[in-house]
Amino acid sequence: MAAWQTRGEARSQPFTALTDAQIEELLGVFEARMQAISDDYLRKMGEHIAEIGTLWPSDVHRLQQMRRMRRNIADIQRQIARAAGMSVRDVQKVFKHVAAGDVRMAAQVLMKNPALVNDAAVRRIMNAQLRETAGRLTNLANTTVVSDAYRRAVDAGVSAVQSGVEDYGSAIRRSLREAGQMGLRIRDDGSHVVDYESGYSRRLDTAVRQNVLDGVRHLNQSIMEEVGRELGADGIEIDAHMLCAEDHLPYQGLQFSNADFEEIQASLSRPFGEWNCRHSWHPILLGLSEPAYSREELQEMRDYSMEEIEIEGRTKTRYEWSQEMRRCETMVRQQKDVAKLAQAAEDDTLRRQCQKNIVALNDRYKQLADGAGLKPKYKRMFVQGFKDAKSSTLPSERERERLKSSYPNTVATKALDAPGYLEKFRRLTESEAVNRSIYNCAVQALTHRNGTTGEDLYLINGRTGEILHANTSSTAVQTVKYEARTLAAIAKAHADGIPIIALHNHPNGMPPSLDDGASAFVHGYAMGVVVGHNLEVYSYSASDKAYDSEYCQRIHSALSRRIGYEFDFDDEVWYNALRKFGMEVQRQ
């Protein structure tokens, strides 16, 4: 077996400054940045639709709801603009690395000194490509967020309330499913140039991924061509990889003169380097440059890609089955987005339907991988913020009734979007992204536990705002029960050197307790945040050492009796008492 076969579907001999794996890792950074915005979009939409369902027919007004929708869209637009600016700066760093690597590689292949290459020409190419890619990213700030599905969901919700349907969830479920599958989309003409009249649109994360990937590829090929001209190259060699599309198979891994390669490019409906093609090419000296692949190796690659395989009565080539796996990955990501929207909209029925679809698609995906002898790439199905319904299921109606206390513990959910409430989170840390993530988790916890004495726990990356873990299935009263997976998430974060911010809700609206501080000490939290059902927000530090629950409860009870907190609560008395145990509490 040839050495390249042991590496699965990886490119066998990359001639770029970045390997395929490095490029994927790089793209993941940009995608994650935009995925966070998409998550916020789905959350805003879901909570908006859920709130419409709580209104009386006499209180719901279509124009008022549309104004709220436009405000949400405007906020998303501002977030896109900020993220685009950050991405432009990151792309500049990447391009410098790619340009320097390409010059070295091309010169090495041509057996020439890299110092012979004109630095000014390379910088000119790099700057031109940077301007083009930066322009495309900047255009994202001016593009149109496609809100048709959001608008239809609002329409469906308003109509359902006004018509007095008994099952609001069933009435709007189809609109929610459609909106979730579409995700956050922007409208352009397919060439990355904003076109407000065109009907074509793409998901935000896909648009950013394609812009950055195209920029890296075009920069790579432009510099290779320039170095080839300067160092006297008269031909090119196309690299080769497994699972190659049939239209490119006859050419991959071969050497051509510059003129012949231009003819090949002109003859192909999908030229090399375009339309998601992973091939690249580098300059050579015909007759002198040793081919990177033998005829036998190229034939093995061809046979591997074109081998016909039967799965469930259908026969396709291995390459065609790999493309069906890509479609499965896309469908799973769509279902996860719908599930997140359903969770925000408090539609547990739709969320469970999505979970069943995801399980079925995963089974199908594994069947295709096993049948075609391909390695599953589950990482491609990852969607930030998604959790299996079975692992974070909302309590049943019977369980919710058990959690109800003698007082309602209700949350004024309409106020969660108010500027004054959001302002309470802006000073928690120096990072806007982390503060926004803490706010989003607070809204989810308060919405989920509204009217109960149950508590949710969120663990947040103190540097990036990423949600490390969510414990939302606890049935304990006025406390959080730490599950094995919660402890595992804490251990992993510490092993990775990640500072943890822990957020949980207090149904009674009280500030952090000694029990909270002791838990922060034991689990090594960098900071704790408590959000009350009365919309109070507190930050707190760990205590000076560990205290057992029984001791904490005695201190809490004595302090509560002393100040009569239910009737005349005095913040400073509470804070001063906790300072004796090393805790610092701040009301936001």
pLDDT (tens digit, 9 = 90+) per residue, 34-73?
777 877 888 888 788 777 777 666 666 667 777 777 788 7
Q: What's the pTM value of the predicted model, to 2 decimals?
A: 0.53
Q: Please report whether residue 71 resides in a domain.
A: yes
Q: Quickly state the pLDDT bin for 110 (edges 50, 70, 90).
A: low
Same domain, 51 and 21: yes
Residues 120, 64 within the same domain: yes
270 and 355 assigned to the same domain:
no
User: What is the per-residue pLDDT across 526-556, written as a single tens digit (0 to 9) for each?
Assistant: 999 999 988 889 999 998 888 877 777 777 7
Among 251, 269, 302, which residue terminates a domain?
Answer: 302
Provide the percentage of residues in the chain whose pLDDT is more than 70: 76
> Once rounded to an integer, what is the mean pLDDT over residues 438-448?
93
Let me know whether 363 and 473 are in one domain.
no
Domain identity same for 143 and 237:
no
Residues 510 and 364 in one domain: no
392 falls within a domain: no
Q: Check whether residue 18 and residue 100 sit in a common domain.
A: yes
Q: Which domain holds residue 523?
A: 402-587
Write the DSSP symbol of residue 382: -
| Distance of alpha carbon 499 from the chain centroid | 20
Number of folded domains in the chain?
4
Which is it for the CA torsion 102, 105, 110, 113, positive or negative? positive
Return the pLDDT at 561.
52
Q: 204-230 and 20-52 are packed helices; what angle lies between their axes, rounded to 10 degrees?
A: 160
Residue 499 inside a domain? The answer is yes
Q: Are residues 367 and 497 in the same domain?
A: no
Could you tell me if 85 and 213 lie in one domain? Answer: yes
Band of pLDDT at residue 114, cut at 50, 70 and 90 = low
Nearest CA among 358, 360, 349, 427 for reference residue 388: 358
**513 and 408 within one domain:** yes
Last residue of a domain, one of 245, 274, 302: 302
Whether residue 13 lies inside any domain: the answer is yes
Write out the two tokens for 300. Answer: 């093995």
In a domain, 445, yes or no: yes
Q: Which of 272, 302, 332 is the C-terminal boundary of a domain?
A: 302
Q: Do 225 and 241 belong to one domain? A: no
- Helix intervals (H) in 452-564: 484-495, 514-523, 549-563
Alpha helix locations (H) across 274-418?
A: 295-306, 318-344, 348-372, 397-403
Name beta bridge partners: 503. 458, 529
287-332 pLDDT tens trace: 888 888 899 999 999 999 999 999 888 899 999 999 889 888 888 8
Average pLDDT over residues 200-217: 71
On whether both 119 and 248 belong to a single domain, the answer is no
438 within a domain of the structure (yes/no): yes
Asked, for residue 308, whether it belongs to a domain, the answer is no
pLDDT at 104: 66
Q: Is residue 391 a part of any domain in this protein?
A: no
Using only the alpha carbons of the chain, give its radius of gyration: 28
> Residue 238, SS3?
strand
* pLDDT, position 108: 64
CB neighbour class for 569 (10 Å; exposed up to 12, middle 13-18, buried from 19):
middle
Q: What is the pLDDT of residue 461?
A: 94
